[in-house]
Amino acid sequence: MDNQDRIKRLLNYKTLLNQLQNLGFVKVFSDNIADALGVSASLVRKDFAIFGIAGSQKGGYEIASIVGKINDILGKNKEQKVVLVGVGRLGTAFLQFGKGFHNEGIKVVAAFDINPEKVDETKEIPVLPMAKLSEFVQENEIKFAIVTVPEAAGRQTIELLMSENIRGILNFTSLKIKSTDKTIINNVDIEHELARLIYNVNQLYNED
Ligand code: ATP
């Protein structure tokens, strides 16, 4: 079983369990979770067992304790600090969206830009010059970065981040850059995704 699939299911479990909590439920059975998510109850129990989530066949699982455990597993009980490089229109949108990530325990703590006119250290999320990146990343033990520089600057930016021991990069340039054994790079090509979506819709409806 692919671990990525299991992590995806954990996220689905968590969303469902939060909904149940909001409705006032305290306990849940694997059957309930299975029915709601369209998976088998034995798979739910297996996932929980693998991650050390205990419950009993008769009494079910305590929702709060599963949610806590899932948060531990997903690293959400710890704040995940992220930096952003490239404060253009897309980068600015991310900075403005900042609060939207808080549910997931993600915090964009600083942004960096090569253009001195973009630098503003007084902002809630400060925009710092590139010369300060190395020191900031080391002092604050940053492991994650979002890259929203133009394509031409993408490779050098990503190489710089990797040389600073950044472990995970969300790359919004259209460059497809491969992960290494030290750094996971997720390439997000919005235009490509949109083209894929349009192609799939057109296939479905047989339109041009
Ligand atoms: P704007 O015109 O407002 O800058 P934009 O999104 O069209 O918006 P881009 O040309 O895509 O701008 O650049 C995004 C940002 O990346 C800019 O703020 C730019 O100064 C910055 N940038 C470009 N090259 C680098 C680099 N090598 N390192 C860090 N930041 C860079």
Question: Percentage of the chain surpassing pLDDT 70?
Answer: 95
Over residues 104-133, mean pLDDT = 95
Instruction: Kindly indicate the confidence band of residue 49, based on its pLDDT and cuts at 50, 70 and 90.
Output: confident
Evaluate whether 197 touches 180 at the Cβ level (below 8 Å). no
Q: Where are the beta strands (DSSP E) in 31-105?
A: 61-62, 80-85
Cα dihedral 19, 23, 25, 31, rounded to 10, equals: -50
Phi, psi of 27 (to 5 degrees): -125, 160
**Ligand 1 close to Cβ of residue 158 (< 6 A):** no
Residue 20 confidence (pLDDT): 94
Q: How far is CA 179 from CA 24, 31, 42, 171, 176, in A?
A: 43, 38, 34, 11, 10
Is the pLDDT at 183 greater than 70? The verdict is: yes
CA of 119 to the centre of ligand 1 (A): 12
**Residue nearest atom 23 of ligand 1, based on CA coordinates:** 149
**Residue nearest atom 4 of ligand 1, based on CA coordinates:** 88
State pLDDT tens for residues 150-181: 999 999 999 999 999 999 999 999 999 999 99
**Residue nearest atom 27 of ligand 1, based on CA coordinates:** 153
Instruction: Kindly indicate the confidence band of residue 5, based on its pLDDT and cuts at 50, 70 and 90.
Output: confident
**Residue nearest atom 5 of ligand 1, based on CA coordinates:** 88
CA of 110 to the centre of ligand 1 (A): 16
Q: Give me the residue label for tokens 């808080």.
A: 102
The set of residues, in sequence order, having a beta carbon less than 8 Å from that of 7 and lying 6+ positions away, is 74
Residue 55 confidence (pLDDT): 74
**Ligand 1 close to Cβ of residue 115 (< 6 A):** yes
Residue 19 confidence (pLDDT): 93
Is the pLDDT at 76 greater than 80? The verdict is: no
